[in-house]
Amino acid sequence: MLRINELKLPLNHAEAELPAAILKRLDIPAEDLLGFSVYKRSYDARKKTAIVLIYSLDVEVRNEQQVLQRLHHDQHLMPSPDTRYQFVATPEQLAAAHAGQPRPVVIGTGPCGLFAALLLAQMGLRPIILERGKQVRERTVDTFGFWRKRKLNPESNVQFGEGGAGTFSDGKLYSQIKDPKHYGRKVLTEFVQAGAPEEIIYVSKPHIGTFRLVKMVEQMRANIEAMGGEYHFESKVVDLDIEQQADGGQIRGVVLENGVRIATNHLVLAVGHSARDTFEMLYERGVYVEAKPFSIGFRVEHPQSLIDQCRFGPNAGHPILGAADYKLVHHASNGRAVYSFCMCPGGTVVAASSEEGRVVTNGMSQYSRNERNANSAIVVSISPEVDYPGHPLAGIAFQRELEARAFQLGGANYNAPGQLMGDFVAGRPSTAFGAVIPSFKPGVHLTDLAEILPEFAVTALREAFPAFDKQVKGYFKQDAVLTGLETRTSSPVRIKRRDDTLQSLNTRGLFPAGEGAGYAGGILSAGVDGIKVAEAVAQSILAGAAK
Ligand code: FAD
């Protein structure tokens, strides 16, 4: 099989033009082309009137070696790499090495915990999976209930429950992580087997939206259970059993809120970035935790049609292109970076609180991405050295303080405080919406958002919005709506692990993983990290390292 990269065709090319372009590129007769499949498809929209599709293709041809030799100067032609997933050990090898030991335990059913559990189950290790929240259907009822009736369940919401933080999301499935072993492909392949559309395998920026994610998460649970995995919902881990040994701690078990103790020597900790009580427990138990940078800012809503027009011009609305996204960065004169984060085309802004008396925003969409507004977080980077020094958990206190301010400024009833972009930049409170109607539920209370954020962040954002207009024409729109507050952009802590074994720096058998541990930032990268730690668990079992 040969891989052809960078094969370009116009956006509206006919189906037959693709094989014709392959024949031309390889300079072979039609009968020598035995078959082909699309490995990736992206687009180049820099010229709006002449948008180009860019293909990577896997092509089967007669006399493959001769073709390769003849075209050896073509950098974009090579033998197709084998991207199939290879297990690090067989179930038989692991069964022998693991005999008599307690089962591995996974905390969290977000993408990281889900993939860790799936891989452990596929390797025959029958993991026990502990989730503080509810099954995804019941969780959906609680979460939508909060948006409609302002009644927050601190254990069942946008952050907590089966499927993790990304369940009510845009379901963007791409990442910029280095992935030489093609773990991302394994994640996408498993998602397709669980019901995701096949296109996620080959389009360059795939997304699946909220409702499909819910079904996929359920299907993956069924698969894991069929392989011997065991789920426990409403089972919050509140303590760890760590045996102190001469050279550090060794995990021996976990304790649930109801007092039940589960023995294990291999614990995958995939608790996400909002498990603040769990971070506190880890710190108290002496597990190595350090503060980490993250970002704060607002959600911004524009009409989706404005973004589509700016990115795609006359091709706005083309079915292959879908709703347009954007990516923005501005380096403010006070030294702060301001950037767009988790952009959701054709989506809605959602209430993402997990603690009472605090307001947090985030974004989600459905597969169709056909809501009227585009939303994105616009955030300012902050760091522990400068902004919350002195304690490994100081970032959590900082987040809590800002979220509580947002709650008060919104009217202390879970409305988000909001402001028009023009008013924010001009430094005056807003009193009425313009043409952009915000999507946040339960509601938006217009006010002066400068009161919530530290001055450096306000200054940097006021500079960034007009500057973004140079990157997306029309972005600095007087009546675009800002809502606050974005604080959960990534984890405020890192639960540091060793590079070789992926176990905690000072606690053997503990595998900190995913976004909460500071090793992922998104659904795909969290899933990939879940695969990596499952492999590390298997390798540790084989090596007999965690006894
Ligand atoms: P999480 O998904 O946070 O999962 C952690 C799980 O652990 C939760 O289910 C939680 O209930 C459980 N847990 C926590 N503490 C305990 C405990 N003590 N005991 C038992 N269980 C516990 N990323 C993208 O790539 N694309 C997107 O489109 C996207 N949109 C998003 C939209 C929203 C609204 C949100 C909130 C996030 C979005 N993200 C998106 C980010 C993405 O969801 C996260 O990066 C990802 O979910 C992190 O995965 P994780 O498994 O590490 O942690």
Write the DSSP assignment of 369-384 as a string of letters. Answer: --SSEEEEEEEEEE-H
Tens-digit pLDDT profile for residues 448-489? 999 999 999 999 999 999 999 999 999 999 999 999 999 999
3-state secondary structure of 440: coil
**Ligand 1 near 271 CB (within 6 A):** yes
- 534 alpha carbon – ligand 1 mean position (Å): 18
DSSP state of 306: H
Q: How big is the CA angle at 86 (ends 83 and 91), to the nearest 5 degrees? A: 160
- The tokens for 498 are 């060793």
Asked if residue 447 belongs to a domain, the reply is: yes
Q: What is the pLDDT of residue 311?
A: 96
Q: Which atom of ligand 1 is nearest to the CA of 166?
A: 43
User: 130 and 240: one domain?
Assistant: yes
ipTM: 0.99
DSSP state of 131: -
- The tokens for 56 are 């990577």
Point out the domain boundary residue: 469, 486, 503.
486
User: 268 and 172: one domain?
Assistant: yes
Amino acid sitting at position 250: Q
User: 273 and 388: one domain?
Assistant: no
Length of the chain, in residues: 547
User: 256 and 308: one domain?
Assistant: no
With the most atoms of ligand 1 within 8 angstroms of its CB, the residue from 119, 135, 160, 493 to mutate is 160
Q: What is the pLDDT of residue 166?
A: 85
| Of residues 155, 20, 229, 403, the one with CA closest to residue 146 | 155
User: 324 and 410: one domain?
Assistant: yes
CA distance 205 to 40: 10
Where the chain has pLDDT below 70, the residues are 545-547
- 110 alpha carbon – ligand 1 mean position (Å): 5
Tens-digit pLDDT profile for residues 242-298? 999 988 899 999 999 999 999 999 999 999 999 999 999 999 999 999 999 999 999
Cβ proximity of 237 and 268 under 8 Å: no
User: 171 and 253: one domain?
Assistant: yes
Put residue 182 in one of left, alpha, beta given phi > 0 → left and psi -120 to 50 → alpha: left
pTM score above 0.90: yes
Asked if residue 148 belongs to a domain, the reply is: yes
Q: What is the pLDDT of residue 546?
A: 44
Q: What is the pLDDT of residue 174?
A: 87
End-to-end CA distance of the chain: 45
**Ligand 1 near 342 CB (within 6 A):** yes
Q: Which helix (H) or strand (E) holds 42?
A: strand 33-44
Return phi, psi of residue 231, to 5°. -90, 140
With the most atoms of ligand 1 within 8 angstroms of its CB, the residue from 105, 109, 169, 282 to mutate is 169
CB-based contacts of 479, cutoff 8 Å, min separation 6: 420, 421, 422, 433, 434, 435, 436
CA distance 481 to 243: 53
| Of residues 530, 436, 526, 460, the one with CA closest to residue 490 | 526
Cβ proximity of 7 and 57 under 8 Å: yes
Asked if residue 14 belongs to a domain, the reply is: yes
* CATH number of the domain enclosing 34: 3.30.70.2700
Point out the domain boundary residue: 79, 111, 128.
79
User: 297 and 284: one domain?
Assistant: no
User: 121 and 39: one domain?
Assistant: no
Handedness of CA 86, 88, 93, 95 (dihedral sign): negative
Of the chain, the percentage scoring pLDDT greater than 70 comes to 99
User: 304 and 267: one domain?
Assistant: no
**Ligand 1 near 187 CB (within 6 A):** no
Q: Which helix (H) or strand (E) holds 340?
A: strand 337-344
CA distance 485 to 355: 14
- 381 alpha carbon – ligand 1 mean position (Å): 20
- The tokens for 538 are 């298997």
- 346 alpha carbon – ligand 1 mean position (Å): 22
| Of residues 160, 124, 354, the one with CA closest to residue 270 | 160
Asked if residue 272 belongs to a domain, the reply is: yes
Point out the domain boundary residue: 486, 503, 527.
486
User: 377 and 477: one domain?
Assistant: yes
Per-residue exposure over 470-484, b if at least 16 CB sit within 10 Å of its own CB, e if not: eebeebbbebbbbbb
Q: How many domains does the chain have?
A: 3
* CATH number of the domain enclosing 234: 3.50.50.60
CA distance 246 to 223: 41
Cβ proximity of 264 and 101 under 8 Å: no
Asked if residue 122 belongs to a domain, the reply is: yes
Whether omega before 79 lies within 30 degrees of 0, making that bond cis, reads: no
Q: How far is CA 149 from CA 7, 10, 220, 314, in A?
A: 52, 49, 31, 42
Q: Which atom of ligand 1 is nearest to the CA of 273?
A: 3
CB-based contacts of 328, cutoff 8 Å, min separation 6: 339, 340, 378, 464, 468, 471, 472, 475
| Of residues 268, 252, 258, the one with CA closest to residue 236 | 258
Q: Which domain holds residue 404?
A: 293-486
Cβ proximity of 235 and 132 under 8 Å: yes
With the most atoms of ligand 1 within 8 angstroms of its CB, the residue from 342, 487, 488, 524 to mutate is 342
- 111 alpha carbon – ligand 1 mean position (Å): 7
| Of residues 416, 308, 326, 411, the one with CA closest to residue 362 | 416
Asked if residue 86 belongs to a domain, the reply is: no
User: 29 and 138: one domain?
Assistant: no
The number of helix segments (H) and strand segments (E) in the chain equals 14, 24
**Ligand 1 near 170 CB (within 6 A):** yes
Q: Which atom of ligand 1 is nearest to the CA of 133?
A: 11
- 114 alpha carbon – ligand 1 mean position (Å): 11
- How do beta strands 105-107 and 128-130 pair? parallel
| Of residues 383, 386, 469, the one with CA closest to residue 422 | 469
CA distance 201 to 184: 10
User: 316 and 223: one domain?
Assistant: no
**Ligand 1 near 349 CB (within 6 A):** no
- 450 alpha carbon – ligand 1 mean position (Å): 29
Amino acid sitting at position 333: S
| Of residues 140, 100, 112, 106, the one with CA closest to residue 231 | 106
Asked if residue 349 belongs to a domain, the reply is: yes
- 166 alpha carbon – ligand 1 mean position (Å): 5
